[in-house]
């Protein structure tokens, strides 16, 4: 029995949603932004089998995205403080 996305993913997130939230100033904290980013790759891995390209790409997104977020954390925190 194949599950549907809403049955497996109870808290969906997308880059589109993150962009919308950022543009309206919905991110009050660094943690909120980081948590939404984590949801994207966690949901992709949760819904897709570990043998799929989507799952493997989600692992690469996690690694590279976290590296990028860490590299720019200070400036992103400052930008969030200005919102």
pTM, rounded to two decimals: 0.88
pLDDT at 1 > cutoff 60: no
The pLDDT assigned to 10 comes to 92
In sequence order, what are the residues at sequence separation of 6 or more whose Cβ sits closer than 8 angstroms to the Cβ of residue 71? none
- pLDDT tens figures, 3-52: 787 788 999 999 999 999 999 999 989 999 999 999 999 999 999 999 99
Contact between 73 and 30 (Cβ < 8 Å):
yes
> HEC string of 43-66?
HHHHHCCCCCHHHHHHHHHHHHHH
Query: Per residue in 54-77, is it b (16+ CB within 10 Å) or e — as a string?
Result: ebeebeeebeebeeeeeeeeeebe
The pLDDT assigned to 48 comes to 94
pLDDT at 59 > cutoff 90: yes
Q: How far apart are CA 54 and CA 34, in angstroms?
A: 20
- pLDDT tens figures, 63-80: 999 999 999 999 988 888
């Amino acid at each position: 029995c194949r599950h549907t996305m809403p049955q497996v993913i109870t808290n969906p997130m997308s880059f589109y949603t993150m962009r919308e939230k950022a543009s309206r100033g919905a991110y009050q904290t660094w943690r909120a932004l980081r948590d939404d980013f984590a949801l994207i790759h966690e949901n992709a891995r949760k819904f897709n089998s570990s043998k799929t390209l989507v799952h493997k790409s989600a692992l690469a997104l996690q690694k590279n995205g976290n590296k990028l977020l860490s590299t720019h954390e200070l400036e992103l925190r400052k930008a969030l403080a200005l919102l």
